[in-house]
A and B are shown apart, each in its own frame.
Chain A
Amino acid sequence: MAAMLKCVMSGSQVKVFGKAVQALSRISDEFWLDPSKKGLALRCVNSSRSAYGCVLFSPVFFQHYQWSALVKMSENELDTTLNLKCKLGMKSILPIFRCLNSLERNIEKCRIFTRSDKCKVVIQFFYRHGIKRTHNICFQESQPLQVIFDKNVCTNTLMIQPRLLADAIVLFTSSQEEVTLAVTPLNFCLKSSNEESMDLSNAVYSEMFVGSDEFDFFEIGMDTEITFCFKELKGMLTFSEATHAPISIYFDFPGKPLALSIDDMLVEANFILATLADEQSRASSPQSLCLSQKRKRSDLIEKKTGKNVTGQALECISRKAAPRRLYPKETLTNISALENCGSPAMKRVDGDVSEVSESSVSNTEEVPGSLCLRKFSCMFFGAVSSDQQEHFNHPFDSLARASDSEQDMNNVCCRKEFNRSDAKYFCII
């Protein structure tokens, strides 16, 4: 029995599905189809690993939902379950789910199923009068990634109507990539990122204040200002149009990822975005904060699964690149320096994660033309795999496999970033 997926949807369900695909396309050019007993998950991660999207359709969303995983029987009675490893390109899928309104009106049924023997996904639309449209798309065998992010432990939670967010987004020009969300227990403010405004002398600074009474839910544990890329926010807005459910935002301190979710019983969408780490918070013993967080989480994970935590290394590496102006010395490492650090990092991950120390930080110099001059926390993902042994031996292999294109210079640099050992601290999300 091979790993497979088979599901059937009606016209209006296809519209929601198509909107999900469109929303995820804002993050990445590829996504995984990941069926499980919880439902069909569409997952994607962007090339710089600073944004992750997942839309989970529960089994009851579909008219018919069937899935299975491949179970490998082994001698020592440790059966391994291999799920469907299916990665699809947006370029192939987006054109199929175009004109969603007309699809909703005209199709009677849509069937999606996989053919593992041929590494194909088949999408069929059944129209009236016996007309049938079939698409065969080859998929790449690739292990889906997921981020484990516990929304419930976040200090700050907001729930808003999508309309409010849409109104706010319009204020920011497309040339500005980052926005800052500043909250107090009474107030909400979305504004242009200060760092970006400082760099670009001709940039407009905009801010929008909204009273807390405009929110469906407004719980702020502490005054916070966090900065993130809002391109992905637009993706979430696109999807919210399809579900009419409010958007929830979960966040903590700067540096810790922010989650945007929509949950309407049948569909759950989560966008996890990296946020800019604060310089001040770095000075005040972030290491202990992160390590203790990690220990807490690793305890949690260990209790849940009883398996070796390091095998499931879900790491958050904060790139300690300060803006050039303020901290000229502490910027990204030279690529050659990275290569020198390559092997120690590998060893460190194999061992106890909590042993990463300051000494692993290499003296850095500015990399001219370096891509990521901002201190975004990047999320490293564990593979969604029950095969722990495989993961444990080659933790970086699986992460490398998860990256998008080999030729992309961006990715090459990013991968080298992650291989280095000068990350000041590891923390598990």
Chain B
Amino acid sequence: MKFRAKITGKGCLELFIHVSGTVARLAKVCVLRVCPDSLCFGPAGSGGLREARLWCEVRQGAFQQFRMEGVSEDLNEIHLELTAEHLSRAARSAAGASSLKLQLTHKRRPCLTVAVELVSSLGRARSVVHDLPVRVLPRRVWRDCLPPSLRASDASICLPRWRTLRSIVERMANVGDHVLVEANLSGRMTLSIETEVVSIQSYFKNLGNPPKSAVGVPQNRDLESMVQVRVDNRKLLQFLEGQQIHPTTALCNIWDNTLLQLVLVQEDVSLQYFIPAL
């Protein structure tokens, strides 16, 4: 098993720092899946979709160098379990660095070595190395950390402005724990929260729907009808506050009364967060 990757360039380094930061905010222990053309972060353990879970994919384009050799020829992947905070801290030490190298090594125990080349303010080179302890996962548990494959969602809509969405959900979180998320295929989205004493509703319109959303939907489907799902507000807020990338695309998919999926894409990075219905 071999893995060696290098990131150079300010933009790519910052993106990697944000990605590892996001994963650390949303999962304590994560599984790093090294695939031939990408690096995927997933939750550890098999919880299915009973809990809110994050998957993140960093495609090869984000790396200047990417070489890997999996467990075997037909199973060309490596699954590593590590503490997300360790990777995030190590990545943060690369702020302003000239390069960051990831390598699977063995130093008394299997490690993911993060080597950062820094240039100090006086123009002199400095190097920092972190050895993060990892656990190589056996093949029998590989299936648990793959993202779920689901049928097409009932509604798919672009999210409103991130800051607005976050501040609304934040205020709603002060009122109650359950938020109802509704959306239709005409660019309308509603967030509602209701307690005995008060009910709050936020209406968004003209949001736009991703083009693929029309695929798989029967012709006579009413574009105006709202699809809904009730989720735990705190989980939603955790994602809205924890994620650190600046997505070019942000959308959500709703499976009626079943599941809410938030998808963010920035360059070669994609984040998916699933929140099951209550």
Q: A170-B93, A214-B122 are in contact. Are A208 and B133 (CB under 8 A)?
A: no
A214 touches B120 (CB 8 A): yes
Q: Kindly supply a per-residue 1/0 record for chain B positions 202-220, scoring 1 wherever the CB is within 8 Å of any chain A CB and 0 otherwise.
A: 0000000000000000000
> A202-B83, A203-B133, A204-B131 are contacts. A210–B90 as well, Cβ < 8 Å?
no
A203 contacts which chain B residues (CB < 8 A)?
133
Residue-wise, chain A 193-228 has the 8 Å CB interface mask toward B (1 for contact) of: 000000001111111111101100000000000000
B residues at A contact (CB < 8 Å): 83, 86, 89-90, 93, 107, 109, 111, 120-122, 124-133
Contact B126 A211, beta carbon cutoff 8 Å: yes
Given contacts A171-B93, A173-B89, A204-B89, contact A209 B126 (CB under 8 A): yes
What secondary structure prevails in chain B residues at the interface with A?
A: strand
Binding site for B on A (CB under 8 A): 163-164, 167, 170-171, 173, 201-211, 213-214
**Residue of chain B at shortest CB distance from A190:** B128
Q: Can you list 24 A-B contacts (CB < 8 A)?
A: A163-B121, A164-B120, A171-B130, A173-B89, A201-B109, A203-B133, A204-B86, A204-B130, A204-B132, A204-B133, A205-B111, A205-B130, A205-B131, A206-B90, A206-B93, A207-B128, A208-B127, A208-B129, A209-B126, A209-B127, A209-B128, A211-B125, A214-B120, A214-B126
Contact B127 A202 (CB under 8 A): no
Q: Is the CB of B128 within 8 A of A171?
A: yes
Contact of A208 among B83, B86, B107, B128 (CB under 8 A): B128
CA distance A201 to B83 in the complex (A): 12
The 10 A-B pairs at the shortest CB distance, nearest first, are namely A205-B131, A206-B130, A208-B128, A204-B86, A209-B127, A207-B129, A204-B132, A171-B93, A214-B124, A204-B130
A202 and B133 form a contact (CB under 8 A):
yes
* B253 CB to nearest chain A CB (Å): 36
Question: A151 to chain B: closest CB distance in Å?
Answer: 27
Residue ID in chain B nearest A170 by CB atoms: B93
A213–B90 touching, CB < 8 Å: no
Residues of A contacting B109 in the complex (Cβ-Cβ under 8 angstroms): 201
The interface residues of chain B lying within 8 Å CB-to-CB of A163 are 121
Residue numbers in A under 8 Å from B107 (CB-CB): 205
Measured between alpha carbons, how far is A5 from B111 in the docked complex, in Å?
A: 58
Chain A residue with Cβ nearest B120? A214
Residue on A nearest B86 in the bound complex, by CB: A204
Contact B129 A206 (CB under 8 A): yes
Q: What residues on A are CB-neighbors of B132 within 8 Å?
A: 204
Say which residue of B90, B93, B124, B133 sits within 8 Å of A211 (CB atoms).
Answer: B124
* Residues of the B chain whose Cβ atoms lie less than 8 Å from the Cβ of A213: 124
User: Could you say which residues of chain B place their CB within 8 Å of the CB of A173?
Assistant: 89
Given contacts A211-B124, A213-B124, A214-B122, contact A204 B129 (CB under 8 A): no
